[in-house]
Structure formats: structure tokens, C-alpha cells
């Protein structure tokens, strides 16, 4: 079975598609990366302000269509990365056996930051396949730590919040991929953040329920 990373947020139009794009840019093509939302705005594109931040990093924010998370997606994923503890709990409620392979992004970055990484893996599929085992071992050393594990929801908020959320996702992704030793070099633009002066498009108001 293919090695698959599933990024999960609420509406699947801001945080999880950004993570999926960032992870795809840091893998060698042997890993499948996808995203979904626990209350997805199904069929919608990436939020324009998040797409602008991705484009400023040299990554394409389209084409994209938001998807509702399903038990089948969870069962087929090797690693599931959520933006919050609530989303992690929703995944595990839907498929209890996924508890061993589901982590918040900040949890995964923090725990792996003390790991030596998968020393014998030869490609990114093999590296990511070892993540649940690596994290299970390293969690034993972190049983008492208390950290912020959620990345806030930027939907309907300011440009500043969108930038902060994007940077938190990007920094955590760099940490994880650095530990795992994934194949591609970081970012074409050479900057850890979006280029100064990037204008973020203002969101269109929608009557549809749900948030990203």
C-alpha cells in the first residue's frame, strides 16, 4: 500500500491544503499527500489569502477542491496530521485504530525534534512510513510536557493572522522534514516567510456553513 500523508483541518480551504502543498514540496515523489476537512466546505478552492501566501513561497494554490473527511480516507492514510487536538479527536472517534498514526502538526514537530530520524530509510515513502513508530518511541520522553498543540483557524480574520498561521505551518513542516531528511531542498525563494509586500486578497463572504 502506498505511503500517504493526510492533512486535516476544519473546512479544508486554509490550513490543511497549505500543509499538503508544503509537504509535497519537501518530498521526492514517493509519498502521496492529500487533505480533507472534518466539516469541509466541499468543492471550494483554497481561500484566496492562503493561496496568495503559497504563491509567494513559489507554490501553486490551484487546482484544488475541498473534500469532506471520511473513514475510508483515515484508514488508507499512513500518517494523519491535524491542526488541532479537536480535529485529532474527531479522526480517532471516526476510526479508533488511527490513534497510533494521528498527530497534531505541532505535536509531530515537537516530538520528532528530539528524534534521530529514520536512519536506514532510503526514500521518503520509507521515512514517512516509520513516523508512527518513531513518534510512539519519542512520546515516552515527553509524557509530562505541556505545549500549545493547536494552530489557530485564520478564517474570517486579518491578514496578520493568515501570515502567522502560514508561518507556524511552514516552520513545523521544515522541522519535521529536516528530521526525516526528506528529498527536496526548502523553498525556491530562499526566505522563511512570504515576500514583504505580498497583498492578500480579501475574503468573499459566504452563507455556506462551516469554517476552514
Domains and CATH numbers, the chain: 4-180 (3.40.50.2300)
- Give me the pLDDT at residue 61, please: 79
- Give me the pLDDT at residue 140, please: 60
Q: Torsions phi, psi of 128, nearest 5?
A: -70, -30
Alpha-carbon dihedral 16, 21, 27, 33, rounded to 10 degrees: 50
Residue keyed to cell 510536557: 145
Q: pLDDT class for 120, splitting at 50, 70, 90?
A: confident
- Give me the pLDDT at residue 198, please: 43
147, three cell numbers: 505545549
- Give me the pLDDT at residue 195, please: 38
Alpha-carbon distances, residue 2 vs 77, 85, 119, 124, 181 (angstroms): 9, 26, 20, 11, 19
Instruction: Report the pLDDT averaged over residues 64-91.
Output: 97
Helices (H), the chain: 15-25, 48-56, 71-76, 85-94, 105-112, 124-129, 131-139, 159-180
Instruction: Report the pLDDT averaged over residues 134-155.
Output: 75
Q: Give the separation between CA 155 and CA 178, rounded to whole angstroms.
A: 29
What pTM, to 2 d.p., does this model score? 0.85
Task: Decide which of 193 and 74 is more confident.
Answer: 74
Is 2 within 8 Å of 158 (Cβ atoms)? no
Query: pLDDT over 90 for what percent of the chain?
Result: 67
Amino acid at each position: 500500500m502506498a505511503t500517504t500523508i493526510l492533512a486535516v483541518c476544519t473546512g479544508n480551504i486554509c490550513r490543511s491544503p497549505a500543509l499538503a502543498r508544503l509537504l509535497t514540496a519537501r518530498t521526492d515523489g514517493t509519498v502521496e499527500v492529500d487533505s480533507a476537512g472534518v466539516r469541509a466546505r466541499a468543492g471550494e478552492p483554497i481561500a484566496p489569502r492562503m493561496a496568495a501566501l503559497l504563491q509567494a513561497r513559489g507554490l501553486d494554490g490551484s487546482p484544488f477542491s475541498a473534500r469532506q473527511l471520511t473513514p475510508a480516507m483515515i484508514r488508507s492514510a499512513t500518517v494523519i496530521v491535524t491542526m488541532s487536538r479537536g480535529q485529532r479527536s474527531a479522526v480517532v472517534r471516526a476510526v479508533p485504530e488511527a490513534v497510533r498514526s494521528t498527530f497534531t502538526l505541532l505535536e509531530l514537530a515537537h516530538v520528532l525534534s528530539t528524534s534521530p530520524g529514520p536512519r536506514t530509510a532510503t526514500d521518503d515513502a520509507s521515512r514517512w512510513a516509520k513516523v508512527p513508530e518513531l513518534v510512539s518511541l519519542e512520546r515516552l520522553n515527553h509524557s509530562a510536557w505541556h505545549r500549545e498543540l493547536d494552530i489557530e483557524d485564520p478564517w474570517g480574520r486579518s491578514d496578520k493572522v493568515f501570515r502567522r498561521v502560514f508561518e507556524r505551518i511552514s516552520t513545523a513542516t521544515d522541522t519535521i522534514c529536516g528530521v526525516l531528511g526528506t528529498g527536496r531542498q526548502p523553498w525556491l525563494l530562499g526566505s522563511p516567510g512570504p515576500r514583504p509586500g505580498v497583498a492578500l486578497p480579501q475574503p468573499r463572504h459566504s452563507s455556506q456553513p462551516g469554517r476552514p
